[in-house]
Structure 1
Amino acid sequence: MLIKILGSGCAKCNRLEQLTREAVAELGLCAEFEHVRDMEQILAYPVMTTPALVVDEEVKVAGRIPSKDELLGWLQGSG
């Protein structure tokens, strides 16, 4: 599973990455993380605001930090 956090590295982006890592660990999944900070790369995805979460090239959320339950649901469906 490839998980991308799209964003400049702001506090919200870092929080999204932290929560996602916690959810992956809780589910016992194997995942590779990539924090995409380059604006040209971010614009390749259909997102208007960051932070954004991309799981296996599918945008799961953009512009907000999801709840842990949302993260767990998305990751279980992708694992």
Structure 2
Amino acid sequence: MKITIYGPGCKNCVNLADNAKKAVAEAGVEAEIIKEEDMAEIAKAGIMSTPAIGIDGEVKIKGKVATVEEIKDLIS
């Protein structure tokens, strides 16, 4: 599984990445977490509000810091 964190590296983006790491550990799944900070790539993904999280290339949540529980629901 590939989890992508979309955002320019702001505090909320860092918090979302941390939540994703915790969710992966708690769910016991194997996942690669990638940070996409290139605004052109973020826009190409259709994201107008960051941070956002994508699972295997599909944007799932955008414009907020998803909780550990929300992310676990997406990856379980």
TM-score, normalized by length of structure 2? 0.94
Matching residue of 2:36: 36
- Which segments of structure 1 move beyond 2 Å, counting only runs of 4 or more? none
Matching residue of 1:73: 73
Provide the rounded CA distance (Å) in 1 between the counterparts of 2:26 and 2:69. 11
Deviation at 1:22, TM superposition (A): 0.3
Q: How many residues align?
A: 76
SS in 1 for 2:59: strand
Deviation at 1:66, TM superposition (A): 1.7
Provide the rounded CA distance (Å) in 2 between the counterparts of 1:5 and 1:67. 13
Work out whether 1:52 is the aligned partner of 2:44: no
Range moving further from structure 2, 38-47 or 50-59: 38-47
Provide the rounded CA distance (Å) in 2 between the counterparts of 1:7 and 1:54. 11
1:54 partner letter: G
Matching residue of 1:15: 15
Gaps of 5+ in 1: none
Range moving further from structure 2, 62-71 or 31-40: 62-71
Provide the rounded CA distance (Å) in 2 between the counterparts of 1:31 and 1:68. 15
TM-score, normalized by length of structure 1? 0.91
Provide the rounded CA distance (Å) in 1 between the counterparts of 2:18 and 2:8. 15
